[in-house]
Amino acid sequence: MLDALAHPFVRHALIAGTAVAVCAGLVGWFLVLRSQVFSADALSHVAFTGALAALAFGLDVRLGLFAATLGVALVLGLLGPRGRADDVVIGSVFAWVLGLGVLFLSISTTRAAGDSTAGASVLFGSIYGLDTGQTVLTVMVAAIVVAVRASPSAPCGSAWR
């Protein structure tokens, strides 16, 4: 095991993976408390579709991912109680968004000039491909999410104590 840790890509994967795991555990617990697990799953598919849309139009994949996810999440948040749709509505939107993702994947692979694997990279990625800067950014974002989630003024903040 120590021989594996001699490689920087393994250390980066271990550090970033641990930070994401801690963050995901805390956020996941909050989602279960609020009965929003299916909505969060649907947002992950929105992220995939947003990333593929950006890829299809030649933009930075992260820009499409964050714009689509935050846009749909803000719309659901602004709708308030009306935005808490039942599972049938979320499932219908889920299927529609995945259909758009397939469309954007098709567009991006037909437009690809020598790199038709970019869509698969968006879907699967590789934690072993992180460099030092990406690892630091991942740890910082995870730390900010954990700090915000653990603050007493956050919704259900007292439940963290």
Give, in order, the Cα–Cα distances in Å from 74 to each of 25, 66, 70, 78, 143. Answer: 22, 12, 6, 6, 22
Cβ 142 vs Cβ 22: under 8 Å: yes
Length of the chain: 161
The pLDDT value given to residue 50: 93
pLDDT at 156: 58
Quick one: which H or E segment has residue 149? helix 132-150
Among 63, 58, 64, 124, CA closest to 97 = 64
- Tens of each residue's pLDDT in the chain, 161 residues: 778 888 999 999 999 999 999 999 988 888 888 777 887 888 888 998 999 999 888 888 889 999 999 988 887 777 666 655 566 777 777 888 889 988 988 888 877 655 667 767 777 778 888 899 999 999 999 999 999 888 777 665 444 44
Q: Which one, of 35, 57, 149, lies nearest residue 68 by Cα?
A: 57
Residue of 159, 141, 138 lying closest to 150 (CA atoms):
159
pLDDT value, residue 161: 42
pLDDT of residue 80: 65
